[in-house]
Amino acid sequence: MVGIPVYRTAFYIPSITPLVAASVLWRWLLNGRFGLVNILLSYFGITGPSWLNDPRWAKLGIVLMNIWALGENMIIYLAALKGIPVQLYEAADVDGASSTTKFFRITLPLITPSLFFTFIMNTIDSLKIFSQAYIMTGGGPVNSTLFYVYYLFNNAFRFFKMGYASAMAWLLFAIILVLTLFQFWASKRWVYYESASLDRSEI
């Protein structure tokens, strides 16, 4: 299909853009007076907020930036989709399966390992957000974007409470470890590994 490489490149480039450069870019895009986001909203008759200067919108602005940079996940999902055997869809067509049935019975189960991997990585990334808040908002306004790692950084390198910051770092490690172990435990209920299924069927 014509144009697919262009779309893939457009989606992937944000994920390889240096985080500092991306943060500066989005600080301009979300500017309340002349930012591109508010200009686009004005075309639809919507008055955009002062994103990074409003406690109600600052965190959402950082969320928008992180969604923009999810190109890595797209590549992983694309590889997973390409790894699904075409014969499974052909057999489903012979049996008269609908598109919805094929999605829930073939596509979704076979990409669950990729979903599981990205779920773990995105969970960890969400718990260690720092650079975006440091560059875009400085933790403000009114500490609305003072994320955990940013608060850890302040205690360690601004207030020089090294012991307290070290304890916070160990706590973050423990939280990430517990969440990751729980995700691995829960994955037994919904992640499908084709090779493991084949091994069991051969016994």
Per residue in 7-64, pLDDT tens?
888 888 998 899 999 999 999 999 988 999 999 999 999 999 999 999 999 999 999 9
Residues 6+ apart with CB under 8 A from 14: 22, 68, 69, 70, 71
Position 71 scores a pLDDT of: 87
Residues 6+ apart with CB under 8 A from 142: 55
Cα–Cα dist 61/45, whole Å: 20
Cα–Cα dist 93/106, whole Å: 12
**Closest to 20 (Cα-Cα) out of 156, 145, 159, 133:** 133
Q: Give yes or no for residue 75 having a pLDDT over 50.
A: yes
Cα–Cα dist 169/175, whole Å: 10
Query: What integer is the mean pLDDT of 80-99?
Result: 93
Q: Which residue has the higher pLDDT, 203 or 10?
A: 10
Question: What's the mean per-residue pLDDT of the chain?
Answer: 90
Q: Give yes or no for residue 195 having a pLDDT over 80.
A: no
Tokens of 73: 């996940």
Residues 6+ apart with CB under 8 A from 80: 110, 111, 113, 114
Position 203 scores a pLDDT of: 38
Q: Which CATH number fits domain 4-202: 1.10.3720.10, 3.40.718.10, 3.90.1310.10, 3.90.1150.10?
A: 1.10.3720.10
Query: What integer is the mean pLDDT of 154-171?
Result: 96
**Distinct helix (H) and strand (E) counts, the chain:** 12, 0
Give 53: exposed, middle or buried? Use CB within 10 Å, 0-12, 13-18, 19+: middle
Rg (Cα) of the chain, in Å, rounded?
22
